[in-house]
Amino acid sequence: MQRKAARAATAVRRVLPGIAMLTALATAGLTGCTSSGGDRTVSDAKAGGSPAPAPAGKYRSLPSPCKAPEIKRLKAMLPTPDSLTEEQREKLYAGAADTSYDGDRHVGCRWAAGTPSETRLLYVGFERVVSYDRATASDDDRARQVYVRQLTDAKLPFPGPTTSPSPSASASTSASAGPGPSASASASAGASAGTSTSPAPSGSPSGSPAPVLGSRVLEDLGDEAFLDDKLGAAGASAAQARSVRIVFRASNVIVTVEYSVQPSAAGTVPPSTETQDAARELAQALSERFGG
């Protein structure tokens, strides 16, 4: 009996290490599966987290608006009387900067020149738009919202730019088909805003009024742009002033050019084409400074 008991105890001692090893392996396997599942859960949580914020806008600062236009262009847009001294001309073309409490966000500059026949005013402004929540909108998105708001205030169509018609093309279209619904609507909008939108025929006899192109969306200027042309009300003793404003967006910067001409003689109307061309040429030069 004692021998049988000893043999049984020996057999148990031989089996126990194997059972212990199997138990340890099973436990390690379960732990590994749990850990792996936990890692996948963490990864899945990270994958479903908040989206990465949009990158900052292209422009982080603004150029000096008083130095943005070339002196040669300023002299062409702002003629001065011969009575001015050279020092007075230099001061005039240096411009007067607007008061700004944040030169990296909003800056502007103004010029004024007068001759016996007319007075001309020029303004150039830069506004850098910043999104305070780039997780929902980028700087460019916010800048486009600012641009669209100004476009809407100017009572111009949205969305999308349209080709600016040339005087000859508009005249031939009007002669062949007459004004369509869209042309009538534009004319009504222009009239309510104090602008002229109906171009005269290109074949007008000499001495007739020059063709007038009213407010419209522009192409090939920055990312998007529009022109707002306003003519002051006619008066018996007051001359009509014409003011052309061009606004365009370059990434997250809004650029504004305002050019006004007011003749001294009553009954004189500043030409639309000449005033708009001068403003557009300056706007194009500024666009190129922003890489447009």
Strands 224-231 and 242-250, sheet pairing: antiparallel
pLDDT for res 183: 36
What does the pLDDT profile of the chain (292 residues) look like in tens digits?
Answer: 455 555 555 554 554 455 555 455 445 444 444 444 444 444 444 455 667 888 888 999 999 999 999 999 999 999 999 999 999 999 999 999 999 889 889 999 999 999 999 999 999 999 999 998 888 889 999 999 999 999 999 998 765 444 444 444 333 333 333 333 333 333 333 333 344 433 333 333 445 555 567 899 999 999 999 999 999 887 666 788 999 999 999 999 999 999 999 998 888 889 999 999 999 999 999 999 987 6
pLDDT for res 214: 86
Pull the structure tokens for residue 287.
Answer: 């666009």
pTM above 0.95, yes or no: no
Which candidate, 147, 117, 132, places its Cα nearest to that of 250? 147
pLDDT for res 213: 76
pLDDT in tens, 142-200: 999 999 999 999 998 765 444 444 444 333 333 333 333 333 333 333 333 344 433 33
Q: Are 275 and 261 in contact (CB under 8 A)?
A: yes
